[in-house]
Structure 1
Amino acid sequence: MLFTDDTDASLQAAVALVNSTDEPGEPLGSVDDLSAFLASWPYTGRLDATQGELDAVRRLRPALKALLLAERDEAAEIVNSMLAKAKALPQLQRHDHWDWHVHAVDPDRPLEERVVVETAMAMIDVIRADEMSRLDRCASDDCDDVVLDLSRNRSRRYCSTTCGNREAVAAYRARQKA
């Protein structure tokens, strides 16, 4: 295991959020879609399930993407800024199926603030371990999504099976033409 379970979960949730779209039926297409997204990627605390909350979470994507794809020193600066803005106060907590882990924001704070702080806290582990190479852009020519590679051999290049398959088919067709 490279990172703790809560760090893995926060990183995976952040990548899913950054790679989401506003299209109907997509992870952030409606308030109901946000509720479904949060069932898959649970954040501690309240869910208001309002259009305002959905809009606020949608607006996080560019800043989180910039953090996930930043160079190490820049990522550290972004993390520090995010945590300072949220007035984060790290504390050990244990709840649900999680053993002791760090929370740095009150569960009553708005969802978008909790998402930012939990992502920033996860990125602390990535930065300290000098594992920024675990985060990259999808290798597909026509995709700009983020890839989180938690594999041992660092072999993940595509954000999804769809992108990987599309590239494999394109390579196969190119070989057949030659």
Structure 2
Amino acid sequence: MSGAGAMERWRSCPALADQDEAFLASVADYLAQLQALSHEQRHCLALFKVAELVNALIQIKERREAVDRVGPELAQRSFALVRSVIRNRTLPYAGSQSQCLRDPQLTAVIDEGCRLFHLGKTNKDLYQQALALSAAQCLALQDQLGPALDQYLQLSGLVVPKTLVTAVRKSFIEAYRS
């Protein structure tokens, strides 16, 4: 997205249809920060984001005991993988080289998302900020999330059901297209 028209076009995406102006203003602020990232930084952040999104859906389905849940073993492996990425700043791939996420700008975005998410567990306003940052990431990384999801699924070593992959695509890629 570039230019003033593209900057506003994101407001019409389905995922943001019911959001208030304060939420959209937060998304706009985060989006401006994320659009300053280089192509390589955006690629690395997209890989982390899809790991985070896949894990989030897995954990939600497990907690809700959904019919299509993946089971506690895969849920724990997914959680451990994302936790390891956050702590070690690398995304390990089964049988190949890891993807480094130690760039200071990436670390700042990842740390801010984690901070907001954890503090948001007890503070509604901070939780809304976490959601705004996540929405901005889905928007800013729109062109890279699909390929990053494919790469993550191929190289992470996790066997994720197609229904979950479809849910990630529908909820976090397609829903953020404008």
Q: Computing the radius of gyration over CA atoms, which structure comes out larger, 1 or 2?
A: 1
Same fold, TM exceeding 0.5?
Answer: no
Higher relative contact order (CA 8 A, sep 6+): 2
Q: TM-score, normalised by structure 1?
A: 0.34
Q: TM-score, normalised by structure 2?
A: 0.34
* Higher-strand-fraction structure: 1
* Higher-helix-fraction structure: 2
